[in-house]
């Protein structure tokens, strides 16, 4: 993974260096969190990819699913499912239903959606054995309304089709060790995994929350954790400013200069869900009131190159400029090996002798040049490949960036006090 920063007239290296200086003491705290084996600090999320004990337990207990699973039904919302979906979409792609690969399929249930629930009725009817399906229910608190609603309906259907015993055996619950949900799951004899109490949903991808479904889906979670370990180790180096600290400093300076939107501009369409994972991390961690009463935050957006240049290109280059852009790409994944044919009815002179990857590269570089020329602030992150290891590294990098950014903004990266505002209303309506 490579990070390239780019100064503009308004965002200078000098300003960034002064923010970096402020982050030095916090870097020491993060370094301690790496070894916080008992998860006492909220920053102990940095410890999660190093937790070999958890990894061993997961590998041992999920082994029995590895051969027969055809579909994983993942129930969760927000941080409980978004990270797994990000990896799945990136690595198995959105075209998997055309490819007929034997790898297990993922169906995620976040909101309560009748289309998806009805499809599962059809899917279950077609299954020949209960072992083809694994139902994974993830809720930190064990009381999330949408997740319990989906799990309730799915479990009933499963039990109706294959009996209660099979449904229990094929269901996994991931929740706080002491939640009411864990308690009931244990009573039913379901497999359960805990989430460390101080690790919040949006920072939980390297715990059982991500590792259990990813492992059952057949991904290389060892490589995924390896990437995360390297990124967390690099980010907490106290000797010199890390990539995460630099990214946070640029982003904060951009905010001071008026940026209010942070756009992740993905140059590989399969990374769109990774962009959404980052959006929730940024929005929930930084969008809040400071102690002095001022409200801060970025509106996160995800754009796809080159597609969205035809959707928002005019706004970017001609509209109000309140946007800070992070270009994310994996250039090695641009080549399909298809070469343009020069005797096709669909030709342009510029295609002569070129391959498809060259077109995407020209788009990517052309757009960055245009951003630079028009003083639109941006940084670029290039992944060496779309792989478990690079995705683990990217996610860990962004988590640390957000922790640094929260320090600069002087907000708590770990809480979400305002979410209760609508939950109270919903509770009132549901019980009335």
**Binders of a copy of itself in range 183-242 (CB under 8 A):** 184-185, 187-188, 190, 201
Torsion sign, CA atoms 50, 42, 393, 106: positive
Q: Contacting a copy of itself (CB under 8 A), which of 60, 128, 353, 429?
A: 429
348 binds a copy of itself (CB under 8 A): yes
Q: Considering the complex, what minimum distance in angstroms separates the CB of residue 391 from a copy of itself? A: 16
Question: Which residue, 24 or 347, has its beta carbon nearer to a copy of itself?
Answer: 347
Question: Which residue, 239 or 338, has its beta carbon nearer to a copy of itself?
Answer: 338
128 binds a copy of itself (CB under 8 A): no
132 binds a copy of itself (CB under 8 A): no
Question: Which residue, 256 or 419, has its beta carbon nearer to a copy of itself?
Answer: 419
Q: Give backbone dihedrals phi and psi of 263, rounded to 5 degrees, phi first.
A: -100, 125
Q: Contacting a copy of itself (CB under 8 A), which of 14, 60, 67, 97?
A: 97
Q: Considering the complex, what minimum distance in angstroms separates the CB of residue 46 from a copy of itself? A: 22
Q: Which of these segments, 45-53, 214-222, 233-241, 413-421, binds a copy of itself (CB under 8 A)?
A: 413-421
Q: Contacting a copy of itself (CB under 8 A), which of 11, 82, 217, 395?
A: 82
**Binders of a copy of itself in range 147-166 (CB under 8 A):** 148-149, 151-153, 155-157
Contacting residues for 62 by C-beta, under 8 A, at least 6 apart: 172, 212, 215, 216
Q: Which tokens hold the place of 127?
A: 């299954």
b/e map 294-306, b = 16+ CB within 10 Å = eeebbebbbbbbb
Contacting residues for 289 by C-beta, under 8 A, at least 6 apart: 295, 296, 411, 418
Size of the site for a copy of itself (CB under 8 A): 129
Please classify residue 26 by burial: count the beta carbons closer than 10 Å to its beta carbon, then call 0-12 exposed, 13-18 middle and 19+ buried: middle
One DSSP character per residue, 116-175 reads HHHHHHHHHHH-S-GGGEEEEEE-SSS--HHHHHHHHHHHHHHHHHH-HHHHHHTEEEEE
Question: Which residue, 3 or 117, has its beta carbon nearer to a copy of itself?
Answer: 117
**Binders of a copy of itself in range 283-322 (CB under 8 A):** 283-284, 286-289, 295-297, 299-301, 304-307, 309-322
CA distances for 289 relative to 14, 66, 297, 416, 417, angstroms: 28, 46, 9, 10, 9
Torsion sign, CA atoms 268, 272, 274, 275: positive
Q: Considering the complex, what minimum distance in angstroms separates the CB of residue 222 from a copy of itself? A: 25
**Binders of a copy of itself in range 357-396 (CB under 8 A):** 357-360, 362-363, 365-367, 369-370, 373-374
Question: Which residue, 62 or 329, has its beta carbon nearer to a copy of itself?
Answer: 329
Q: Contacting a copy of itself (CB under 8 A), which of 14, 38, 52, 98?
A: 98
Q: Contacting a copy of itself (CB under 8 A), which of 60, 115, 239, 240?
A: 115
Cβ atoms of residues 269 and 307 within 8 Å: yes
CA angle 7, 8, 14 (to 5 degrees): 55
Question: Which residue, 22 or 370, has its beta carbon nearer to a copy of itself?
Answer: 370
CA angle 269, 79, 255 (to 5 degrees): 70
Question: Which residue, 3 or 359, has its beta carbon nearer to a copy of itself?
Answer: 359
Q: Considering the complex, what minimum distance in angstroms separates the CB of residue 403 from a copy of itself? A: 16
**Binders of a copy of itself in range 163-192 (CB under 8 A):** 181, 184-185, 187-188, 190
> What is d(CA 272, CA 68) in angstroms, rounded to the nearest whole number?
29
Please classify residue 310 by burial: count the beta carbons closer than 10 Å to its beta carbon, then call 0-12 exposed, 13-18 middle and 19+ buried: exposed
**Binders of a copy of itself in range 9-68 (CB under 8 A):** none
Q: Considering the complex, what minimum distance in angstroms separates the CB of residue 15 from a copy of itself? A: 21
> What is d(CA 318, CA 236) in angstroms, rounded to the nearest whole number?
39
> What is d(CA 98, CA 291) in angstroms, rounded to the nearest whole number?
52
8 binds a copy of itself (CB under 8 A): no
């Amino acid at each position: 993974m490579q990070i390239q920063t780019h100064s503009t007239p308004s965002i200078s290296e000098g300003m960034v260096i002064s923010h970096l200086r402020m982050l030095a003491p916090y870097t020491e705290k993060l370094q301690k969190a790496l070894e916080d084996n008992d998860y006492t600090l909220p920053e102990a999320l940095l410890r999660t990819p190093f937790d070999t004990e958890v990894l061993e337990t997961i590998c041992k207990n999920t082994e029995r699913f590895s051969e027969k699973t055809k579909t994983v039904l993942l129930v969760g919302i927000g941080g409980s499912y978004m990270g797994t979906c990000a990896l799945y979409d990136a690595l198995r792609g959105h075209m998997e239903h055309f490819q007929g690969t034997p790898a297990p399929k993922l169906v995620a249930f976040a909101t309560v959606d009748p289309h998806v629930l009805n499809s599962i009725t059809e899917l279950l009817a077609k299954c020949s054995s209960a072992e083809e399906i694994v139902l994974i229910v993830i809720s930190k608190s064990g009381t999330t309304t949408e997740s319990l609603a989906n799990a309730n309906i799915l479990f009933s259907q499963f039990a109706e089709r294959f009996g209660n015993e099979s449904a229990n055996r094929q269901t996994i619950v991931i929740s706080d060790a002491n939640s009411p949900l864990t308690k009931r799951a244990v009573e039913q004899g379901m497999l359960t995994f805990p989430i460390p109490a101080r690790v919040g949903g949006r920072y939980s991808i390297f715990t059982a929350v991500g590792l259990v479904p990813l492992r059952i889906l057949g991904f290389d979670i060892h490589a995924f954790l390896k990437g995360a370990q390297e990124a967390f180790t690099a980010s907490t180096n106290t000797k010199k400013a890390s990539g995460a600290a630099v990214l946070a400093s640029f982003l904060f300076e951009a905010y001071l200069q008026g940026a209010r939107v942070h756009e992740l501009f993905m140059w590989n369409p399969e990374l769109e869900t990774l962009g959404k994972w980052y959006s929730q991390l940024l929005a929930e961690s930084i969008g809040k009131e400071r102690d002095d009463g001022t409200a801060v935050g970025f509106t996160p957006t995800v754009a796809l190159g080159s597609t969205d240049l035809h959707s928002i290109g005019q706004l970017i280059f001609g509209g109000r400029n309140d946007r800070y852009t992070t270009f994310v790409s994996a250039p090695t994944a641009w080549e399909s090996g298809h070469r343009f044919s020069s005797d096709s009815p669909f030709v342009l002179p510029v295609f002569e002798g070129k391959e498809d990857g060259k077109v995407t590269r020209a788009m990517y570089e052309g757009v960055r040049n245009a951003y630079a020329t028009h003083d639109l602030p941006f940084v670029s992150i290039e992944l060496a490949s779309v792989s478990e290891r690079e995705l683990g590294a990217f996610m860990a990098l962004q988590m640390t960036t957000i922790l640094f950014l929260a320090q600069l903004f002087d907000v708590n990266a770990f809480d979400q006090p305002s979410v209760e505002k609508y939950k109270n209303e919903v509770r009132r309506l549901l019980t009335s």
